Structure 1
Amino acid sequence: MKPRIAVLGCGYWGSNHIRTLKSLGALYAVADANQARASAFAVEHECLTFSPDVLIERKDVDAIVMALPAQFHAEFAIRAVEAGKDVLVEKPIALTVPDARRAVDRAHELGRIFMVGHVLRYHPAFEKLKELVDAGELGKIGYIHSHRLGLGKFHMENDALWDLAPHDLSMILAITGEAPVEVHGQGAALLDHLSDFTHLHMRFPNGLKSHLFASRLNPYRERRLSVVGEKAMAVFDDMEPWDRKLAIYRHAIWQDHGQWAFSQKDADYPVVEQGMPLTRELEHFIHCIQTREEPRTGGEEAVRVLEILTAGTIKHN
């Protein structure tokens, strides 16, 4: 039996979850502060609808996907797990580390699944990249850099770092397997007091370094993660066609008579299984509900991401 999953929050990301859960046969109900909006989705997708407060207490709801403004996530997540629900909380799961920690700890205390919506961890190209890194195909990793650029969306509460960087930080943490020991952020605000451009620099315990560039005021879109290893470099470029989203560049670097020399082969494009990341994410959530397995993107990872965002946030007057 598939779990009966409700979506709390029928905005942009909530609507994506609604459609995808419907396609998976797991959508049971929807809720939103705007009852008319929730009712419209309920009619379209033939499911139940309740107010947010009623939804939390319904005994016939097994799990809730939360796609609310971030300031409400921790409160509703705690209420949901205390009512016996498993939760998938969209990023960011809170606006402060203490709020995030309370929600995650409460879920663990009660034995509930707490999963965070770091959807790019479920992208087949990233999954293949992670597989190659774990198999040692790239050699020792020395540097990771990520660029996430474009025009919009603009928020009154979140800057470019908080809005755009969580997915990339999740991927970087998955590759490094540890939290950074040093985080330094630089930003620029053009529209108001929130950064529209952010550079984030990190250093990890094993010496690996990483930087992330996020911008919501850029004339072109870029969605690229590059991993530099001793034997090869990998680029996950989500703007490329499917058969070129993951490129592997094998190289050699050596000293010859006191000078550096190098060679590089043409890019290899590993075969990447096609699939929608959100569908795979929600399939994983369903699997975790059924098996009680710890999610790949669990609460502890979400807290680590928030710690980095907090450390790298730039205050503008």
Structure 2
Amino acid sequence: MTSAPSPKIAVVGCGYWGNNHARTFSELGALHAVSDRHPDRAEALAAQHGGRAMAYEDVLADPEIDGVVLALPPQYHADQAIAALEAGKHVLVEKPIALSVADARRVDEAAQRSGLVAMTGHVLRFHPAFEALEAMVAAGDLGSVRYIHSHRVGLGKFHAENDALWDIAPHDLSLILALTGEKPFSVRGVGSAMLNRLSDFAHLHLQFSSGVRSHVFASRLNPYRERRLTVIGSKAMAVFDDVADWNQKLAVYHHKLWEDENGWQSEMVDPSYVELPDGMPLTRECSHFLDCIRSGTAPRTPVSDGLAVIEILSEGTVRHD
């Protein structure tokens, strides 16, 4: 029995993430074309990874191309995603999918009208450590989730249009929304601009109807690098640390807590580490996109997820120091 041929994909945008997508889809045997407003960049990427260098209008008009990956400056994502959907192309659009709630909603509405696969590039949702954490939460291994906090800090990159909140926090907001399964009813945000008008530090505080509370700290002006998501449950605590070695990326802590005549007491224990399967998150994400095109099933990270993140970001940018 022969397997179905791979869908043919065009990667639009030949910057850092476009290069990563082009390489990955080439490795998966699915890269058909690359496109960029600078034709020489597209030609160079095509020479490196295969496929044809094409203008975007030609990508949309090519009946051989099944899906489009958009890795553009985010201010262009909404219009180009809608154009691709209206041209009958499945879409994987990098985060953030837009820079306003109105534009993100337009993308979501276009996706619903089209009936096509429309997926947000929330790559950490496909990390084996997060998938294992998500399964643990769903199975009740941590008990009732009470608090989730994330720290995503480091030095650079600085973008002309995006502050730290919009550039960095979408990763963690996507993870938090996946773990809670609900949108927050309260969002409070504070940002601080040190270098120019755009915030280099951002704090978000979220409250959910289930009782879960959460905070996100994002910084691109920090002397050390940290990529850590911590989930506090009634039975155990878990930490997804993406800076740690592979065999220590997901740690579970069964700290002992009890109350006696002297009040609440605790006893710390060493963590246990969850064994993880091999697999690059981007490869898993791109494979999932191809599988959804083949089967016609909804993606795990639809553009409605991207819209939910944009709604939180928009609320969180109200207050600035």
Q: What displacement does 1:56 show?
A: 1.6
In structure 1, give the amino acid aligned to 2:179: I
Indicate yes or no: 2:86 matched with 1:82: yes
The answer as to whether partners of 1:148 and 1:222 remain within 8 angstroms in 2 is yes
Match of 1:227 in 2: 231
Task: For 2:161 and 2:218, locate their aligned partners in 1 and report how far apart those are by CA, in whole Å.
Answer: 16
Of residues 26-35 and 252-261 in structure 1, the stretch that sits farther from structure 2 once superposed is 252-261
Which residue matches 2:13? 9
After superposing on structure 2, the runs of 4+ consecutive aligned residues of structure 1 that deviate more than 6 Å are: none
- Aligned with residue 141 of structure 2, among 134, 137, 143: 137
Unaligned stretches of 5+ residues in structure 2:
none
Mapping 1:106-121, distance limit 5 Å: 106-121=110-125
> Match for 1:173: what amino acid?
L
- Say yes or no: does 1:171 pair with 2:175: yes
Query: 2: CA distance between counterparts of 1:260 and 1:103?
Result: 50
Q: Where in structure 1 are there 5+ consecutive unaligned residues?
A: none
Q: How far has the Cα of 1:251 moved from its partner?
A: 2.3
**Residues 194/290 of structure 1: CA separation in 2 closer, same or farther (3 Å cut):** same
Length-normalised TM-score, structure 1? 0.98
AA aligned to 1:43 is A
TM-score, with length taken from structure 2: 0.97
For 1:282, what is the secondary structure of its paired residue?
A: helix
C-alpha distance in 2, partners of 1:87/1:255? 53
Matched, 1:277 2:281: yes
Aligned length: 317
> What secondary structure sits across from 1:25 in the alignment?
coil
Residue 214 in 1 paired to residue 213 in 2? no
- The C-alpha deviation readout for 1:91-146, integer Å capped at 9, x for no partner, is 00001111111111111111111000000000000001111111111000000000
1:7-61 deviation line (CA, Å, top 9, x unaligned): 0000000000000000000000000000000011112222111111221221111
Secondary structure, aligned partner of 2:243: coil
The alignment yields a C-alpha RMSD, in angstroms, of: 1.1
> d(CA) in 1 for partners of 2:187 and 2:320?
18
The 2-side partners of 1:199 and 1:189 are apart by 12
Whole-Å separation in 2 of the counterparts to 1:260 and 1:10? 55
Identity across aligned pairs (percent)? 56
Deviation of the 1:314 alpha carbon: 4.5
Q: Is 1:123 matched up with 2:132?
A: no
2:68 to 64, 68, 93: 64
Separation (CA, whole Å) in 2 of partners of 1:149 and 1:46: 35
- How many Å apart are 1:264 and its aligned residue? 3.4
Aligned to 1:207, the other structure's residue is in SS state coil
| Contact 2:12-2:36 at 8 Å conserved across structures | yes
* Pairing partner for 1:44 from 45, 48, 53: 48
Given that residues 193 and 315 in structure 1 are in contact (C-alpha distance below 8 angstroms), is that contact kept between their aligned partners in structure 2? no
Give secondary structure in 2 for the equivalent of 1:68.
coil
Deviation sequence 1:121-174 (CA, Å, 0-9, x none): 000000011111111110000000000000000011000000000010000000
Question: Structure 1 CA distance, aligned partners of 2:231 and 2:241?
Answer: 11
Q: Give the distance between the partners of 2:38 and 2:303, measured in 1 at CA.
A: 28
* Partner Cα separation in structure 2 for residue 180 and residue 316 of structure 1: 20
For the 8 Å contact 1:195–1:314, the answer to whether it is kept is no
Contact 1:81 1:107 (C-alpha < 8 Å) held by counterparts: yes
